[in-house]
Structure 1
Amino acid sequence: MLRDLADADWTRRDGLAALTAALGADNIRWVGGAVRDGLLGVPVHDVDCATVLLPEDVIAACKRAGMRTVPTGIEHGTVTAILTDGPVEITTLRRDVATDGRRATIAFAQDWRDDAARRDFTINALYAHPETLVIQDYFGGLDDLREGRVRFIGDAQQRIAEDHLRILRYYRFQTRFGAALDVEAEEACANLAHTLKGLSRERIAAELLNLLALPHPGATVARMRMRGVLGVILPETCPAHVSALERLIAAESAQGVAPDPVRRLAALLPPSPEVAETVAARLRLSKAQRTRLVNAAERSDSDSADPKALAYRLSPELAMDRLLLAGVDARMLKDWSVPVFPLKGGAIVARGITAGPDVARLLRTIEARWLAEGFPGADRVNQMLAEELGTSAFNFD
């Protein structure tokens, strides 16, 4: 059963009431994710607004009301109003004039249905009046939301042909909201999977990581591989890797570890640093993401021998990636702070060792012993130093 939108906290934000007063209640509608999630009782962060007003009129009306605006996408009709309780994107109603699968040429419109018709899924084309909260639903989105069905607006193949990224968006939304598969959507995504090759790597990476960040994407990823979609964007993945993802998701859940999309991407790849580097470059991952992906690919059976020593050498985050991928209990690292090695080179020089290779070698030797003994305190480290200095290699008496 869908909730009453009036019960959604976001509908009572002071900033939205002020925006409604500035633009006129009959000129705007709340639209998209905020409406959909509000009806489902899901927490809402961002609110989007559709309007019959042109961007310049939106800017002028906001200025008269003392609201700052930013032209975040004004060439597409989008202005962002900076409100006290969060920014709101305000977009003039649009209709598509031409599309090529990657971008669309649009024209401004005055008809709410025209704007709804260019959206991707029925559940994303729900418009709420800002005062009455009455829903305008042109394509059966309310019924689809009730039944857990993710359905393209109109002909699925045509909608994908307009924007190929909708294939990956379909799988992400199906994972979040779908209780049953829509046959037309499934077939269209499989038939047009090859068109994903024409998209920018950044757009593909963003959608893939958003999908992998969801709580339980395993079944969806398995279906993507079976239908030939995953192989287009991640040809390195085989059935065994999909099974590895399922095991990782189970380990995260059992250990109370939050889902992480980069860690899950690592599960879908062979444990090869070279492959990880290739995939990171192809998907244009950030430097930090690339580091994590490559580190995870360097995992080995010896990692589980001493998890805290591994975390000391790498970092708790990188160590947790490796341990979880191996199915090892990593909970001891969740709130663990990396200890500081209590010995410095100056303390060794003060004992009569000339600064240089001997000092560095002593530091490495004692640090290894410190790790092996589980990070003892400074007194024990000083004892280790005395022991090492008492060996023949460093006996200067």
Structure 2
Amino acid sequence: MTTILPDAPWQHRQGLAELMSALGAAEGAVRFVGGAVRDTLLGLPVSDIDCATVLQPDEVVKRIRAAGFKAVPTGMAHGTVTAVLPDATVEVTTLRRDVSTDGRRATVAFTDDWREDAARRDFTINALSASPTDRTVMDYFGGIDDLAGGRIRFIGDPLTRIAEDHLRILRFFRFHARFGKGDPDAAGLDACAARANDLMALSRERIADELLKLLALPDPAPTVALMHDRGIFLPVLPEIAAAGVSRLARLIGRERIADMGPDSARRLAALLPRDAAIAFQVASRLRLSNAIRTRLELLAAPPEPGTAPIPLAYRHPGAAVDLFLLSDADEVELRAVVATLAGWQRPRFPLKGGHLVELGLRPGPQVAGALQAIEREWLSAGFPDDDWVERAAKAAVDQALRERQ
């Protein structure tokens, strides 16, 4: 039975029809491939548009430019050219076959065989393609049935496909967490577990990218638990233990209570031990950004139950709710914290060091120390008005001057 790709907004982006025509859609020389086809069949929104073509990369560049669009040679060695449309970009890749692979990268040769190109993709649901003219879906490996059944299945022998690209181990679990229904494909799962040590050969950036994408899904907790049980994390993230897996599941439930969406860094913090030094080590190993590393270190020390939320929010702007989500506070306290902080705006401390100097303090460490002490008192007093601050400033200066005498 012929499957027709449903009509979707992305198919009507400005310039896309003209681009497809220029690339020979009428002659069957180009097709939509990958996630755009898969997600449209599921009724999901599509952001990235990818195409495959029988045309050689140089010819693709020539035709894109002739159609009036900018062509960016983003990966000519691997046959990829990016067409820049008025409100979107489209990646156009020449059909390929693998000549050699080492688990991290592949040497490819170009081909005109659509099935051969589809066969080098990882999972059946990612090997679908569709005609831009009549939207007929081409399915060489049962991807449509697997998509409907929520099965993430390798194309061909799972061990062979993992040997070609070790990242497919992590992708298997991420796609199962996103699209899977029920238990994962047994052959794929066993192959991933058997080859988990292969992950050590990957760059830490690639591992981090996949892990953060997994944790950003609505509810990755069951899949993460399965990964822990099958030893997937051990070679690259041995810090993830059963306690962290339990904290992640608990956090996701608490996120729903707080009406907060998924956050990869917050969820990674839940997975790791409550130790800032370990958070720093993991962030450094995965080469995470400085911002994420700093956040992981902060979230490694959630507050004790009963901690007042406003002072915490003042000291850690933007992180207070995260800290309470990760804390041991019960649901009643969590709801109260969320209600207290909803719409709360951090007040600006009105005192500057220059004013203390005008009152008689010498510039230097003494001014910084007095500022910090006054700000702590101001915070404890519930952010009193400027008159209170002025009196506190004068008292601090008077005290300092007396101590100097």
- The verdict on a shared fold, with TM-score over 0.5 as the criterion, is yes
* Structure 2 equivalent of residue 109 of structure 1: 111
Q: Give the Cα separation in 1 of the matches to 2:101 and 2:180.
A: 28
**Paired residue type of 1:139:** F
Decide whether aligned partners of structure 1 residues 190 and 387 sit closer, same or farther in structure 2, where only a CA change above 3 A counts.
same
Structure 1 window deviating more from structure 2 (256-265 vs 121-130): it is: 256-265
Give the structure 1 partner of residue 159 of structure 2.
157
Asked if the contact 2:356/2:397 (under 8 Å) is kept, the reply is no
Distance 1:307 1:91, change over 3 A: same
* 1:338 equivalenced with 2:339 (yes/no): no
Contact 1:316/1:333 (8 A) holds in 2: no
Alpha-carbon shift at residue 290 of structure 1 (Å): 1.2
What secondary structure, in the 3-state scheme, does the structure 2 residue paired with 1:253 have?
A: helix
**Cα separation, 2, equivalents of 1:116 and 1:286:** 35
- Give 1:131's aligned residue: 133
Bigger Cα displacement from structure 2, 341-350 vs 106-115: 341-350
Alpha carbons of structure 1 residues 80 and 392: separation in structure 2 relative to 1, 3 Å? closer
1:205 aligns with 2:213: no
Code of the aligned partner of 1:320: V
Structure-1-length-normalised TM-score: 0.93
Tell me the CA shift for residue 389 of structure 1.
5.7
Query: How big is the alpha-carbon RMSD for the aligned residues of Structure 1 and Structure 2?
Result: 2.2
Inter-partner Cα distance in structure 1 for 2:124 and 2:35: 11
Q: Name the CA shift for 1:335/1:29 in 2 (closer, same or farther; >3 Å).
A: farther
Amino acid aligned to 1:325: L
Q: Corresponding residue for 1:85?
A: 87
1:309 to partner: Cα distance: 2.0
Query: Is the Cα–Cα contact under 8 Å of residues 247 and 327 in structure 1 kept in the other structure?
Result: no
Q: Whole-Å Cα distance in 1 between the matches of residues 207 and 368 of structure 2?
A: 46
AA paired with 2:36? A
Q: Which amino acid aligns with 1:322?
A: L
Q: How many angstroms apart in 1 are the aligned matches of 2:351 and 2:388?
A: 11
1:93–1:111 contact (8 Å) kept in structure 2: yes
1:187 aligned residue:
190
Q: Superposition pairs for residues 250-261 of structure 1, below 5 Å?
A: 250-261=253-264
In 1, Cα distance between the equivalents of 2:398 and 2:283? 49
The within-5 A match list for 1:7-18 is 7-18=7-18
Q: Does the CA contact (< 8 Å) of 2:154 and 2:161 recur in 1?
A: yes
Give 1:177 deviation, angstroms.
0.2
Contact preservation (8 Å) 2:32, 2:49: yes
Amino acid across the alignment from 1:230 = F
Quickly say closer, same or farther: Cα 1:282–1:390, change in 2 above 3 A.
closer
Give the 3-state SS of the residue equivalent to 1:97 in structure 2.
Answer: strand
One of 362, 367, 386 as aligned partner of 2:375: 367
Please tell me the residue identity of whatever aligns with 1:96: D
SS in 1 for 2:73: strand
Give the corresponding residue for 1:324.
Answer: 325
SS of alignment partner, residue 80 of structure 1: strand
Q: What's the CA shift string for 1:36-68, capped at 9, x where partnerless?
A: 111111111110000000000000011111111
How far residue 190 of structure 1 moved from its aligned partner, in angstroms, is: 0.9
> Which range moved further: 266-275 or 163-172?
266-275
Per-residue CA deviation, residues 135-187 of structure 1 (Å, 9 max, x unaligned), is 00000001111111111111111111111100100000000000032111111
CA–CA distance in structure 1, aligned partners of residues 285 and 321 of structure 2: 25
SS at match of 2:15: helix
Mapped contact 2:125–2:143 kept (Cα < 8 A) = yes
Q: Are the equivalent residues in 2 in contact too, given 1:222–1:242 (CA < 8 A)?
A: yes
Whole-Å separation in 1 of the counterparts to 2:365 and 2:108: 68
* Partner Cα separation in structure 2 for residue 124 and residue 356 of structure 1: 63
| Contact residue 221 and residue 230 of structure 1 kept, 8 A | no
Task: Measure how far apart 1:361 and its partner are.
Answer: 3.3
Report the Cα offset of residue 282 of structure 1.
Answer: 1.2
| Structure 2 counterpart of 1:140 | 142
**How big is each residue's C-alpha offset from its partner over 1:62-88, in whole Å with a ceiling of 9 and x where there is no partner?**
111111111111110000000012100
Establish whether residue 178 from structure 1 lines up as the match of residue 186 from structure 2.
Answer: no
Deviation, structure 1 residue 298: 3.6
Superposition pairs of residues 262-273 of structure 1, within 5 angstroms: 262-273=265-276
- Cα distance in 2, alignment partners of residues 61 and 4 from structure 1: 27
Greater shift, 40-49 or 179-188, is seen at 179-188
Aligned-pair CA distance for 1:263: 1.4
The structural deviation recorded for 1:311 is 2.8
Task: State the partner residue of 1:122.
Answer: 124
Q: In the TM superposition, what is the alpha-carbon distance from 1:118 to its structure 2 partner? A: 0.3
Cα distance, 1:322 vs. partner? Answer: 2.1
Going from structure 1 to structure 2, the CA distance change for 1:336 and 1:274 (only over 3 Å counts) comes to same
- 1:307 Cα deviation after fit: 2.5
**DSSP 3-state at the match of 1:7:** coil
| In 1: Cα distance, 2:287 partner to 2:176 partner | 25
Residue number among 381, 386, 390 corresponding to 1:378 in the alignment: 386
Partner of 1:64: 66
Amino acid at match of 1:15: G
Q: Contact 1:389 / 1:395 at 8 angstroms: preserved in 2?
A: no
| Alpha-carbon distance between aligned partners in 1 of 2:163 and 2:343, rounded to the nearest angstrom | 48
Aligned CA distance change for structure 1 residues 133 and 387 (closer, same or farther; 3 Å): same
Once the two structures are TM-superposed, the CA of residue 386 in structure 1 deviates from its matched residue by: 4.8
State the partner residue of 2:317: 315
What TM-score do you get using the length of structure 2 for normalisation?
0.91
> In the alignment, is the contact (CA less than 8 A) between 1:122 and 1:139 conserved in 2?
yes
| Between 351-360 and 94-103, the greater mean CA deviation after superposition | 351-360
Q: Which 5+ residue runs of structure 1 have no aligned equivalent?
A: none
The separation in 1 between residues aligned to 2:362 and 2:117, in whole angstroms, is 76
Farther off after superposition, 277-286 or 67-76: 277-286
Aligned to 2:32, the other structure's residue is in SS state: strand
Matched AA of 1:20: M
